[in-house]
A and B are shown apart, each in its own frame.
Chain A
Amino acid sequence: MQAKFLLEKVGYEVEASGTQGRQRILSDVGITIPAGQIFTITGPSGSGKSSLLYLLNLLRDPTTGVIFLDGQNMAEMNVLEVRRKVGIVFQKPFMFKGSVRENLLLGPKLKGSESRYSPEDLLEMMGLEREMARKEAILLSGGEQQRVSLARALANEPDVLLLDEVTSALDADSACSVEKLVKALCEEKGITVVWVTHDMEQLMRVGDNSLLLIDGRVAFTGTSDEFKHQYFPSKREMNTELFTDGRL
């Protein structure tokens, strides 16, 4: 199993607002994220899930420890190249003023190149109509905007997609279609997906391997099946109660 990311004793701190001290967000995180699979990250609110994604995209640098991407120390890599190789999609879709086409051409335009995929091809990949390219992006529904956000990240032809609770604001149908799309991307194009989710059922449906973070520390890492056996031994419904019912 080839590692896409390898994290060694990664710690991340920020200046605590309103005080002189620093707040520890992640401590001693050591994990391997395999290439070409869907790796899910879960944990209670404030456990450091999104911060970990930011480190993988170099939107932040770790305070301690090292992260390797394809065997290279990320601290020594060109930030802009990493971000084009490692796409990120946020929880709330953000559309820029202009057409869907303009939004989809943004990534390649920023680096001054052209994408292998046309905006229409990207929309089709996302299960959207090709004609949508002409529409005003901010007028799309939440589900459509999130799929356009995914397509926009894919226009950079990334090796990795980081997804930060991308379906949490969507209805069940839209969430389901995004899941299918991401799984297909992973299987057909070999893209590594790191997916932060609160939804335990989603984690089981999409994740090959999973990480549970509690207070910024690794509480569990292994396959999603092992995760299920450890935290949901009975057939009780899996939901976010895992984080509030006292088991963790």
Chain B
Amino acid sequence: MSYLSVILALSFVLVAVVISVRENLELEKDLMIGTFRAFVQLIAIGFILKFIFEMEKWPYIVVMIGFMVLAAARNAEKRGQGVKNVFPMLLLAISMGEILTMGMMLGLKIIPFQAQYVIPISGMIIGNGMVASALTLNRVKAEIESRREEILVLLGLGATARQASSSTLQASLKSALIPTVDSLKTVGIVQLPGMMTGLIIGGVSPLVAVKYQLVVMLMITSTVSITAMIVAYFAYSKFFTERHQLI
């Protein structure tokens, strides 16, 4: 693919701009800024990845992953306004998702410890962890707000904060896991996932691409479960005092 083709692809954005103008959505400015940022960010990351792949040294890989975790936690933090110490909690949850899932992949020798495998797959783990933690955080807040009456009745009966939040935790974890479970059910029927599509376009046999895609999807299921559970358990506790009182 030539650079000219990429530039010509900008015309696709023009379609969205025309719709925005026609329907008075006032999204033209955001579309332009978004497109510009996508260009700059992707070109920058392209150069950074090229550099890291050529160096092939573990400290670069670790720094890169650290940066991705920080950016993901910062982004998910916006969903947790009003929750105390939300940033360290997100940092821990997303890091744990990455460490455990990547640890399993490396430990089971599913992928080798090479930048070209570890960094893109970490990107998928961290990205999914970010979405799962934002969804969980949002849901914990909303559930506690809507279940105040139920929680007070349970506390009044002598429940601990954990017992009184049991329904909240269940609903929040479910809401984080459902999109992953749904995509497991529909993959290959409704959609061909990004990684598989990329490999096929890159000339890899569809059967090999399927193997990678299966590993990635199972890995995402593990990441989402780990991250959502850590976020849910930390987040609910921020709504209670040490004396099991709802704040």
Contact = CB atoms under 8 A, between A and B. Distances in A.
B215 interface: no
A106 interface: yes
B243 interface: yes
A87 B150 contact: no
Nearest to A15: B247
Given A59-B155, A94-B150, A80 B246 contact: no
A101 B167 CA distance: 19
Interface string A27-68: 000000000000000000000000000000111110000000
A107 interface: yes
A156 to B, nearest CB: 6
Contacts of A58: 243, 245
Contacts of A81: 158
A90 B154 CA distance: 11
A110 B164 CA distance: 9
Nearest to B241: A61
Given A59-B245, A61-B243, A110-B163, A83 B158 contact: yes
B20 interface: no
Interface string A110-122: 1100000000000
Interface string B151-177: 011111111100100000000000000
| Range, interface on chain B | 10 to 19
Contacts of B163: 110
Nearest to B153: A94
A79 B156 contact: no
A92 interface: yes
B149 A152 contact: no
Contacts of B243: 58, 61, 79
Interface in B126-152: 149-150, 152
Contacts of B150: 94, 96
A153 interface: yes
A59 B152 contact: yes
A28 B245 CA distance: 23
A81 B149 CA distance: 21
A193 to B, nearest CB: 15
Interface in A68-84: 79-81, 83-84
Contacts of A88: 156
Given A92-B149, A94-B149, A79 B244 contact: yes
Contacts of B159: 110
Interface in A96-147: 96, 106-107, 110-111
Contacts of A106: 154, 157
A83 B149 contact: no
B192 to A, nearest CB: 41
Interface of B: 149-150, 152-160, 163, 241, 243-246
30 contacts: A58-B245, A59-B156, A59-B246, A79-B243, A79-B244, A79-B245, A80-B158, A80-B160, A83-B157, A83-B158, A84-B157, A84-B158, A87-B156, A87-B157, A88-B156, A90-B152, A90-B156, A94-B153, A96-B150, A106-B157, A107-B157, A107-B158, A110-B154, A110-B158, A110-B159, A111-B158, A152-B157, A153-B156, A156-B157, A156-B158
A-B pairs with the 7 shortest C-beta distances?
Answer: A84-B158, A88-B156, A107-B157, A83-B158, A79-B243, A94-B153, A110-B159
Given A58-B243, A84-B158, A87-B157, 14 more contacts: A59-B152, A59-B245, A59-B246, A61-B243, A79-B245, A90-B149, A90-B152, A92-B149, A106-B154, A110-B157, A110-B159, A152-B157, A153-B157, A156-B157
